[in-house]
Amino acid sequence: MTSAAVPPARSALVTGASAGIGAATVRALRSEGWDVVAVARRAERLRALAEETGCAWVAGDISVDADVEAIANAARANGVSTLINIAGGARGVDPIAEAKTEDWEWMFQANVLGTMKLTRALLPHLRAVAGGATILNLTSTAALVGYEGGAGYNAAKFAERGVTQALRLEEAEHDIRVIEVLPGMVNSEEFSLRRLGSQEKADAVYAGVAEPLTSADVADVVRYAVSLPHHVNLDEIVMRPVAQASQFKVIRR
């Protein structure tokens, strides 16, 4: 059943909003007057972000069906016209010969199935947005090329990129634009720490790299892409620091 038409609005739902790129995206949108519903699992982080920015928030896990329904209800209640799927992440750098099944399962739940479940839940609402809706999926340059120790994350992000490409084709007739942002090396507060398990290992990823991207850099690109007139679709935006010429060439001083 299709929802009744809702008015166009600068109103977004942002997942993964408790830290890093997600939190920075909430700040970037709120700074330009957007209404924002921030979503993540950690309620205390969201509460602090709401006090800082004035955003609305709902705590939940996008891979859990009951939470997805609660998040979708909040999106509908707030007249959301833009869905920004940022939640995801990586676990481990094991080669395939030593792959941990639980790490791979977590990455597919967080990056692929969670994105699918929330998008599926909101599509009837987004299709009814007068003037057109937007879905932006944050993937990674890991979705473009495989690398040693990255197979699990590569697989998850290749899959999320495939979902994004199919979604763009399926929803164009419903006036939904679908954007993919693919960041390279981002020195965010938690990504490498969670992936590698120690601050020392996380710091080594960025050692000697002049100005890796920041969460705010990526958030600014996300904000720009979703703020353009609706007929302009930046299908794919690959962004890297200058020091990362490719996935395999990083200049370290």
| Domain assignment present for 5 | no
More confident of the two residues 124 and 189: 124
| Domain assignment present for 3 | no
Q: What tokens were used for 155?
A: 């697989």
Is 0.85 surpassed by the pTM of this model?
Answer: yes
Q: What tokens were used for 30?
A: 């709120």
| Boundaries of domain holding 171 | 11-250
| Domain assignment present for 68 | yes
pLDDT tens digits, 36-82: 999 999 999 999 999 999 999 999 999 999 999 999 999 999 999 99
| Domain assignment present for 200 | yes
153 is catalytic: yes
Domains held by the chain: number: 1
| Domain assignment present for 190 | yes
Q: What tokens were used for 220?
A: 């600014």
| Domain assignment present for 4 | no
Q: Which of 147, 153, 206, 224 is an active site residue?
A: 153
Number of other CB atoms surrounding residue 201 within 10 Å: 13
pLDDT at 6: 41
The residue-averaged pLDDT of 236-244 equals: 97
- Which CATH number fits the domain that encloses residue 202? 3.40.50.720
Using CA atoms, how far residue 133 sits from 31, 118, 189, 196, 233, in Å, is: 21, 15, 30, 37, 11
